[in-house]
Amino acid sequence: MIRPIVKYGEALLHRRAEAVYNVTAEIAALARDMVETMYAAPGIGLAAPQVGVPIRLIVIDLSLGRDSSGLITLLNPEFVEREGMQLEEEGCLSVPGFNATVARPGRATIRGIDLEGHDRIYSGEGLLARAFQHELDHLDGRVFVDRLRGIKRDLIVRRIRKQIRTGQW
């Protein structure tokens, strides 16, 4: 089932998500819905708060569904290691229509629990490292706009507020 995506400004998107202690049928169904929603958007990553569920669950697939082995689904992900830096343009399904250059690690390793309850570790560079940071930020109540400074951030926030006031958001 494709779920509606929560947009920037909604309170749920701006607070820390809760840890998951049991992998239930409901959690597995949510993960399937998140994957379907991510592919339909289309996007390469999605965090549970983006579909209105304040738990620590992410899905990432750089292949956009073309390679099933590329799908990462993790509960309670956390960083093991981050190093280097990359500056690339980034967007977000919760901030549609806006992009900005964001500093992210060049390489990252995360660990979490898969839907079978097994510990998993994933490492990535470039786009995958950026996706890890982007989705884990969502679990901590941050969006890419929060990582911007100065006039670029102010401009995006002002435009979003205007769209909210005019009913276009």
Indicate whether 169 pLDDT > 90.
yes
pTM over 0.75: yes
pLDDT digits (tens, 9 = 90+) for 49-60: 999 999 999 999
Task: Return the pLDDT at 146.
Answer: 96
Active site residue 78: no
pLDDT greater than 90 at residue 1: yes
- What integer pLDDT is reported at residue 68 of this predicted model? 86
CA distance 95 to 169: 9
Tell me the pLDDT tens digit for each residue of 10-29.
999 999 999 999 999 999 99
pLDDT at residue 159, rounded to an integer = 97
CA 57 to chain centre: 9
Q: What is the mean pLDDT of the chain?
A: 97
Residues 6 or more apart from 130 whose CB is under 8 A from it? 86, 88, 90, 102, 104, 105
Handedness of CA 17, 18, 21, 27 (dihedral sign): negative
Q: Which domains are assigned to the chain?
A: 11-165 (3.90.45.10)
CA distances from 57 to 10, 99, 128, 166 (A): 19, 24, 17, 33
Q: Report pLDDT digits (tens) over 66-118.
A: 998 999 999 999 999 999 999 999 999 999 999 999 999 999 999 999 999 99
User: Any residues with CB less than 8 A from the CB of 22 and at least 6 apart, and which?
Assistant: none
Helices and strands: H and E segment counts in the chain: 3, 7
For a pLDDT cut of 70, what percent of the chain falls above it?
100
What was the pLDDT predicted at 151? 94
- Catalytic option among 10, 81, 125, 135: 135
